[in-house]
A = this chain, B = another copy of it.
Amino acid sequence: MKSVDKHNKIIISATKVFAKKGFFNARISDIAKEAKVADGTIYLYFNNKFDILISVLEEEIGKIIEQIEKAIEQETDPEKMLNIFIEKHLSAMKQNKNLAEVIHIELRQSDRLVKEYRNTSFKQYIDMISKIIKKGQELGIYRTDILPDIAKRAFFGALDEVSRIWTTPGNVQYSVEQTSEQIIALFLTGMRTTS
């Protein structure tokens, strides 16, 4: 019986190898070795190399989404929701540096790599942001001249690039709190009506 364990082990190993070498320089045999399985075993769990990447993106981003959604669903204050979003995203990135690296680099080309794939979890992820902003606008907290569809991108782009500090070597290592505060200072202040 194909085990869920092995599927997961391969996902984790692939994330590590993709993070280190990048998708194209990653060899199936690298992943197999890392996962301590035979090359052929990979193909019992995934259709091809692309499929592994997609699965990493979908499953691992999916987990973060789930976490954040759970953390947010109790909240009603958009301000606090965004605070949570920022904090959760940054801690996830700081904790799982392999996944962070993959998101930084491979997420960008995933659409091009697999024609049939329009990254869906990712879309869902950044749409969480625009939804919160819209809510804030309805509640009169956020300026209505902010376009949520642009702001969500600016917001995610900033978060993503900022979190690269932890994966690019030779940088001052700021804490999650410090970094969160910066993003909050910049964005949330910028969005408020009472600014």
A105 sits at the interface (CB 8 A): yes
Copies in the complex: 4
A178 sits at the interface (CB 8 A): yes
Q: Is the Cβ of B153 less than 8 Å from the Cβ of A161?
A: yes
Q: Is the Cβ of B185 less than 8 Å from the Cβ of A145?
A: yes
Q: Which of B22, B112, B113, B164 contacts A153 (CB 8 A)?
A: B164
Identify whether the interface residues of A are mostly helix, strand, loop, or mixed: helix
**Interface size (A, Cβ < 8 Å)?**
46
A109 sits at the interface (CB 8 A): yes
A111 sits at the interface (CB 8 A): yes
- Alpha-carbon gap, A22 to B174, bound state (A): 33
Q: Which of B113, B150, B186, B195 contacts A187 (CB 8 A)?
A: B186
Q: Is the Cβ of A146 less than 8 Å from the Cβ of B182?
A: yes
A101 CB, min distance to chain B CBs, angstroms: 9
A52 CB, min distance to chain B CBs, angstroms: 16
Chain B, Cβ-Cβ closest to A143:
B185
Q: What residues on B are CB-neighbors of A44 within 8 Å?
A: none
Q: Is the Cβ of B111 less than 8 Å from the Cβ of A168?
A: yes
- Alpha-carbon gap, A183 to B154, bound state (A): 7
- Alpha-carbon gap, A156 to B109, bound state (A): 19
Q: Is the Cβ of A147 less than 8 Å from the Cβ of B174?
A: yes
The 8 sampled A-B contact pairs (Cβ below 8 Å) are: A105-B108, A147-B174, A147-B178, A147-B182, A149-B172, A157-B158, A186-B191, A195-B195
Closest 6 CB pairs of A and B: A157-B161, A190-B190, A154-B158, A186-B190, A157-B157, A24-B24
